[in-house]
């Protein structure tokens, strides 16, 4: 199993020093990838995410910073909420630029958010897209593949129409830049099988992941594609009881049992998010996880 670390870009107290410390920990322990979380301007009401995400470094900008500073690491978004952002064509340019400048080290995990993210859609002027966000995401993926391939043919979609354009530079990985999608609905599972290079699950334990896999696999086979890479993002909470939202909790041995269960399901990558965001907290948490959990797999 491959590991990555979700950079501590939030909440209040997050600093560039803590983010750099997390990337240094990934290199120290041989973990392949660092990930950023995507929120921009969450709501403050009962459906909002302001407590955790009000203070957060922007996801793509942070990846450019870390990608330039640490040439040995893959970098990824976990996950960009595409319909929330104002323009998928501009997003295609930003992602292509990061991949070109980092010589092909980018993985793009994507999502659409849920009801809790509705205030953020409103704040970003994208609320009209909220009920169409799945369709918008799928068209954006088709648009990106078109642009990143270097094709100049017109693109005529429901949300995007391009007739006279030039697009460059292309990503170093071209139109095969890895695109992963997440989600916790049957539509999301089918989308992952039909058009994604990876399924990136969050807040999902082995028991919840297991019934999703036949849906993803059947959709991939129907589309003539291979099974997507399976990836899980999970918080690490040592010596804490299991809560209503899945996280790697308890002792090191209990976490190892969960990771082995993920391995049996075919999960290839774990993106772990530690508690705390100071350099000292991040370094200590990574050290504990590497020695008490990863070393025991």
pLDDT at 266: 98
Question: What distance lies between CA 102 and its chain's CA centroid?
Answer: 18
Contacts of 257 (CB under 8 A, 6+ apart): none
β-strand 267-274 against 33-36: which pairing, if any?
unpaired
pLDDT at 49: 60
Say yes or no to pLDDT of 205 above 80: yes
Q: Encoding tokens for residue 14? A: 């997050």
User: What CATH number is given to the structural domain containing 57?
Assistant: 3.20.20.30
Please name the residue that has the structure tokens 């799945």. Answer: 134
**C-beta separation of 265 from 230 below 8 A:** yes
pLDDT at 59: 98
Instruction: Please state the rounded mean pLDDT for residues 139-164.
Output: 97
Work out how many domains the chain is built from and give that number: 1
Contacts of 87 (CB under 8 A, 6+ apart): none
Please name the residue that has the structure tokens 């209040």. Answer: 12
Please name the residue that has the structure tokens 């990555």. Answer: 4
Say yes or no to pLDDT of 48 above 60: no
Interval 134-151: pLDDT, tens? 999 999 999 999 999 999
Name the residue among 169, 155, 205, 156 with its Cα closest to residue 184: 205
Q: In the chain, at which residue ranges do the beta strands (DSSP E only) sit?
A: 2-6, 33-36, 74-81, 106-111, 155-156, 161-162, 179-181, 198-202, 229-238, 248-250, 267-274
Q: How confident is the model at residue 62 (pLDDT cuts 50, 70, 90)?
A: very high
Interval 85-104: pLDDT, tens? 989 999 999 999 999 999 99
Give me the domain span that covers residue 269.
2-296
- Considering the entire predicted model, what is its pTM? 0.95
């Amino acid at each position: 199993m491959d590991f990555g670390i979700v950079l501590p870009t939030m909440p209040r107290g997050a600093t560039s020093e803590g983010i750099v410390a997390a990337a240094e920990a990934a290199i120290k322990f041989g973990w392949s990838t660092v990930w950023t979380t995507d929120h921009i301007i969450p709501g403050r009401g009962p459906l909002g995410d302001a407590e955790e995400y009000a203070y957060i470094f922007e996801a793509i900008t942070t990846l450019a910073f870390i990608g330039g500073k640490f040439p040995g690491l893959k970098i990824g978004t976990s996950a960009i909420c595409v319909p929330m952002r104002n323009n998928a064509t501009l997003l295609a340019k930003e992602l292509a630029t990061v991949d070109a400048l980092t010589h092909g080290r980018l993985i793009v995990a994507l999502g659409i958010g849920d009801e809790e993210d509705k205030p953020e859609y409103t704040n970003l002027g994208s609320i009209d897209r909220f009920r169409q966000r799945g369709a918008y995401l799928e068209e954006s993926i088709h648009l990106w593949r078109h642009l990143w391939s270097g094709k100049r043919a017109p693109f005529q979609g429901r949300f995007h129409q391009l007739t006279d354009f030039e697009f460059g530079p292309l990503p170093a990985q071209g139109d095969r830049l890895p695109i992963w999608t997440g989600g916790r609905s049957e539509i999301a599972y089918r989308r992952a099988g039909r058009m994604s290079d990876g399924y990136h699950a969050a807040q999902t334990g082995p028991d919840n992941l297991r019934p999703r896999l036949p849906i993803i696999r059947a959709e991939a086979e129907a589309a003539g594609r291979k099974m997507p890479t399976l990836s899980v993002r999970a918080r690490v909470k040592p010596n804490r009881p299991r809560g209503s939202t899945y996280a790697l909790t308890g002792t090191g041995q209990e976490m190892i049992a969960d990771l082995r269960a993920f391995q049996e399901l075919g999960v290839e990558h774990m993106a772990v998010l530690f508690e705390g965001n100071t350099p000292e907290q991040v370094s200590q948490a990574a050290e504990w996880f590497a020695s008490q959990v990863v070393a025991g797999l």
